[in-house]
Structure 1
């Protein structure tokens, strides 16, 4: 038993257990005042038809281990939550991958950054030069 305790301490769970995605789902289901069954019925990806099953929702909300959702599952969660996909992506990134979402002083700046990856590399370089000419880079 002592060996198992030592293994858990050395290689086990992260001391900072992240629950942002589970918290968001639990909170949103409560706000919508929906039963687990009703919420699960709505958890369907409108693009692919992939569903999030009731058991997965229950396990997530109860803190049991779940497989991190892919984009199809995230779209299904977003449909059930009636929230933008990005909100679910941010929470899932925090909980499952330790990635904190972009925080900015304005929603406009966040929207720019979200679109930036779709701009070709050469245009991103031009855009950065333009931004640097307007607001000099910090040293």
Structure 2
């Protein structure tokens, strides 16, 4: 993870927080965590120095798919947890999940609506469930 380092957008620390929390829970040093970060090919694409810089808030390159896969294994969390944290920290992508397929169906339909239709839908939703 060399080349040009990139800072996470200001105020974004989701992956850093995930690594810090899981490393503490698992009782691992950076070296031991890096050793556990094994991708599906059996390689270890995550370096302890990168983990240290990430957790310290220093500039790091965003991890690629292999590194996220390895981190999921090393941190003992689902891949989507690591992907969501990395997407939020490095790219400002905030994932909204729903317990049912209904919300997804609404979003898919909303993508096909005009701006006027969306505004009407939002007003209707506000009448049932006002925004917080």
The equivalent of 1:62 in structure 2 is: 56
TM-score for the superposition, normalised by structure 2: 0.68
Q: Give the gaps of 5 or more residues in structure 1.
A: 1-11, 117-126, 129-136
How many residue pairs end up in the alignment? 104
| Alpha-carbon distance between aligned partners in 2 of 1:92 and 1:21, rounded to the nearest angstrom | 5
Q: Give the gaps of 5 or more residues in structure 2.
A: 1-6, 110-117, 122-132
| Alpha-carbon distance between aligned partners in 1 of 2:80 and 2:8, rounded to the nearest angstrom | 27
Give the alignment's Cα RMSD to 1 decimal.
2.9
Shift of 1:47: 3.3
| Alpha-carbon distance between aligned partners in 2 of 1:29 and 1:48, rounded to the nearest angstrom | 21
| Alpha-carbon distance between aligned partners in 1 of 2:28 and 2:8, rounded to the nearest angstrom | 32
Q: Could you say if the C-alpha distance between residues 95 and 39 of structure 1 is closer, same or farther in structure 2, counting changes exceeding 3 Å?
A: same
The equivalent of 1:43 in structure 2 is: 37
TM-score for the superposition, normalised by structure 1: 0.64
The equivalent of 1:94 in structure 2 is: 88
- The structure 1 segments of at least 4 consecutive aligned residues displaced by more than 6 Å after TM superposition are none
